Amino acid sequence: MIRYWYEFEEATVSGRYYEPDYGYVALFTEEPIRLYYYEGFFSSGVIVAEGSANTRARLVILSPLDYIIDADVDGDGFYSLSSGIRSWDEEYPDIELEDKYSDDGSSDTPVEVDAFEPDDTLGNDASSRNMISTDGTVQHHTLAPAGDIDTIVFYAASGHDYVIETSGCDTMLYIAYSNPATNDAAMEFDDDSGPGLGSRIEWPCTSSCLAAIAVTHAFKERTGSYSISVVESPASGTGN
């Protein structure tokens, strides 16, 4: 069924899909599939295929660029296997589902909101920003409620290297920095270079500045806890 709205149209599916060898699954949309007129592809929606004994697979449309496939293979109501975030552009080769949820620091018990909040945006006032030391001191944060963003800043000195690392849940790590002399701003990003599904960025600072870190969960609908540290060292290169 398709419904038309001012900015988008929504489609829902329902029914059974029969496969000659495996039988059938029931199909339904947990969230309608939404196509904005100004986007080239679907923006959101969740399609579920339900098999016997409550086993389920779902396609979660994250944006016109990416999606996730999750599976509940034992019918316990919890999607334990996931493809992770995939790009539609990668086409659809054999997609391996992995046990991404059980060891990522996420759990069924609610994760507490941490004491650093509110820190979803950088305060204008320096005293309202959360600073982290660059001597490796570990800070413990949570990404809760779902969709939480944690911003953390540190002073970076020209000619020094910095390693920013998270461990715990499946984080995404961003660092934004600027060259105050030229006003050039840049950003780097990492997902899984740290321990487990943690993140790690090695960043050689070439111009002293206040560097801003942002941490989010790789799955915007999930919560989790993580540790973060920043380690400063003299530049390893010889040109400094």
Sites for Ca ion among residues 6-45 (CB under 5 A):
none
Q: For the range 58-64, what are the long-range contacts, defined as Cβ-Cβ under 8 Å and sequence gap of 24 or more?
A: 58/30, 61/33, 62/220, 64/39, 64/40, 64/88
Distance CA 34, CA 61 (A): 9
Query: Judged by CB under 5 A, does residue 148 bind Ca ion?
Result: yes
Amino acid (one-letter) located at 119: D
Minimum distance from CB of 221 to Ca ion (Å)? 15
Query: Judged by CB under 5 A, does residue 165 bind Ca ion?
Result: no
- Residue 170: closest CA among 154, 148, 194: 194
Rule CB under 5 A: choose which of 61, 81, 197, 205 binds Ca ion: 197
Query: Judged by CB under 5 A, does residue 192 bind Ca ion?
Result: yes
Q: Which stretch binds Ca ion (CB under 5 A): 74-82, 90-98, 152-160, 195-203?
A: 195-203
DSSP code per residue over 53-82: GG-EEEEEE-SSSEEEEEEESS-SSS--EE
Strands 200-204 and 209-217 come out as unpaired
Query: Judged by CB under 5 A, does residue 111 bind Ca ion?
Result: no
Minimum distance from CB of 232 to Ca ion (Å)? 23
Minimum distance from CB of 152 to Ca ion (Å)? 10
Amino acid (one-letter) located at 59: L
Rule CB under 5 A: choose which of 9, 31, 66, 114 binds Ca ion: 114
Query: Judged by CB under 5 A, does residue 104 bind Ca ion?
Result: no
| Residues at the contact surface with Ca ion, assessed by CB under 5 A | 114, 119-120, 141, 148, 150, 170, 191-192, 197, 218
